[in-house]
């Protein structure tokens, strides 16, 4: 990668500069200046710690993790103006020449640019040095060095911002878990013929600030490596309702493919009456290894667990999930249910999924039913089970076994 390639790539996307690119920048500037060692340091507790190093053939002089007291190196003196950023020959700088490190390495030529954080404080230095003097070094070389140092500054600031954000995300999720600051509500799933709830879907609700939908909370937990812990906690609370369900009713719960393949998930379900549990995998979940997922599901399904593909029809992934996992139930996404009474395309898609269900002996549940017209149309299309605000809203309490008054009998 040439100097121009590095500068062009980094300038086009400064927030995406990778560690590899930054390492390449160190190598490029060292070669360009004809120096022996290039490194990026961080100031930690009064010491200069080498975070990245390019020193082929001179690894004994500098390697990642090496550190020196700030009193013994040039860094602090450059920051405070006692030494210049560009020193072609250390013998010409009495202060540098008198420092023990100059003779110990030795340092013949030195160039260093401070790396500053957004608040103006010094993070560390972007440096090059040579064991012998280099009288050809000039202010143009220093300007080139500044460009690479600016790239390093952007990257360091981005990395620290990401780290702070991750720490805050982790704190939020850990706080929710410690206080159990979430609840479970249950939405009834109706037999559309008998108009009686045959099951309930357990849905998580979070009370903490910032007010956000459950999917955002679970996605954030995944970003900081706490998704398994949060999902297990939510599932434990959801499953606690099982003894309160009617003898002919089941509980529908949601789990990510990443959780399903874990030992923690298998242990959670070890003593549960699986014939009364419907496990939903959303269309939006990415499955990295279908074979591994099927292996984890097989003993659970053998014990009676039913599998559903949620949000069917919302995108390509749901169709792939259906083909690969062969679910017992296909749940129509509310984007198909919405206005199905007036939209021929939606009716055609529902009809296609109904045909698949009949061919594979699967059942269909329509989600998001909100009007009498949608309800009537879905029944005419052959849908036998459904849920939605028109039938029953999610609630912490289970629905009393009664026919909703708003629904026309015989529709």
pLDDT of 312-335, one tens digit each?
Answer: 876 656 678 888 999 999 999 999
Average pLDDT along the chain: 89
Lowest mean pLDDT among 5-14, 215-224, 234-243, 390-399: 5-14
Q: Is the pLDDT of residue 345 over 90?
A: yes
Query: What is the pLDDT confidence band of residue 400, given thresholds at 50, 70 and 90?
Result: low
pLDDT of 157-209, one tens digit each?
Answer: 998 999 999 999 999 999 999 999 999 999 999 999 999 999 999 999 998 88
In 3-state terms, what secondary structure has residue 192?
coil
Element counts in the chain: helices (H) and strands (E): 15, 14
Residue scoring higher pLDDT (408 or 401): 408
In 3-state terms, what secondary structure has residue 161?
helix
Q: Is the Cβ–Cβ distance between 283 and 254 less than 8 Å? A: no
12: its two tokens: 């086009």
Confidence (pTM): 0.75
Q: How far apart are CA 292 and CA 222, in angstroms?
A: 20
Q: State the pLDDT at residue 315.
A: 63
In 141-292, at which residue ranges do the beta strands (DSSP E only) sit?
A: 182-191, 196-206, 250-254, 277-282
How many Cβ atoms are within 10 Å of 59's Cβ, its own excluded?
Answer: 11
Query: What is the pLDDT confidence band of residue 8, given thresholds at 50, 70 and 90?
Result: very low
393: its two tokens: 């809203």
How much is the average pLDDT of 120-142? 95
Query: What is the pLDDT confidence band of residue 22, given thresholds at 50, 70 and 90?
Result: confident
What share of the chain has pLDDT > 90, as a percent? 80
Q: State the pLDDT at residue 323.
A: 86
Q: How far apart are CA 14 and CA 299, in angstroms?
A: 49
340: its two tokens: 């199905």
Q: State the pLDDT at residue 4.
A: 33
Q: State the pLDDT at residue 9.
A: 40
Q: Is the pLDDT of residue 14 over 70?
A: no
Residue scoring higher pLDDT (305 or 281): 305
Q: Is the pLDDT of residue 405 over 70?
A: no
């Amino acid at each position: 990668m040439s100097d121009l390639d590095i500068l062009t790539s980094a300038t086009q996307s400064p927030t995406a500069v990778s560690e590899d690119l930054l390492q390449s920048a160190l190598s490029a500037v060292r070669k360009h200046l004809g120096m022996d060692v290039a490194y990026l340091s961080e100031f930690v507790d009064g010491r200069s710690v080498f975070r990245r190093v390019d020193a082929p053939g001179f690894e004994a002089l500098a390697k990642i993790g090496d550190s020196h007291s700030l009193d013994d190196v040039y860094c602090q003196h450059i920051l405070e103006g006692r030494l210049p950023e560009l020193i072609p020959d250390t013998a010409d700088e009495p202060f540098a020449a008198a420092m023990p490190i100059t003779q110990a390495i030795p340092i013949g030529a030195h160039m260093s640019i401070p790396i500053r954080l957004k608040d103006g404080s010094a993070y560390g230095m972007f440096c090059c040095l040579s064991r012998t003097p280099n009288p050809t070094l000039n202010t143009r070389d220093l300007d080139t060095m500044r460009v690479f140092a600016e790239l390093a500054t952007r990257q360091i600031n981005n990395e620290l911002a990401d780290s702070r954000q991750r720490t805050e995300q982790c704190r939020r999720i850990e706080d929710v878990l410690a206080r159990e600051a979430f609840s479970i509500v249950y939405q009834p799933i109706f037999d559309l013929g008998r108009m009686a709830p045959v099951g309930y879907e357990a849905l998580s609700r979070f009370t903490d600030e910032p007010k956000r939908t459950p999917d955002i909370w679970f996605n954030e937990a995944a970003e900081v490596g706490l998704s398994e812990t949060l999902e297990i906690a939510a599932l434990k609370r959801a499953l606690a309702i099982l003894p309160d369900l009617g003898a002919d009713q089941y509980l529908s719960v949601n789990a990510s493919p990443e959780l399903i393949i874990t030992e923690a998930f298998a242990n959670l379900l070890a003593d549960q009456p699986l014939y009364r549990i419907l496990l939903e995998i959303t269309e939006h979940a990415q499955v990295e290894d279908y074979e591994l997922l099927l292996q984890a599901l097989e003993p659970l399904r053998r014990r009676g667990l039913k599998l559903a593909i949620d949000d069917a029809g919302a995108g390509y992934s749901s169709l792939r999930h259906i083909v690969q996992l062969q679910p017992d139930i296909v749940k129509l996404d509310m984007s198909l249910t919405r206005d199905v009474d007036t939209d021929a395309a939606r009716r055609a898609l529902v009809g296609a999924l109904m045909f698949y269900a009949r061919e594979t002996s699967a059942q269909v549940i329509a989600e998001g039913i909100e009007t009498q017209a949608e309800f009537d149309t879905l029944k005419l299309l052959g849908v036998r089970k459904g849920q939605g605000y028109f039938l029953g809203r999610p609630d912490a309490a289970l629905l009393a076994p009664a026919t909703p008054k708003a629904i026309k009998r015989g529709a």
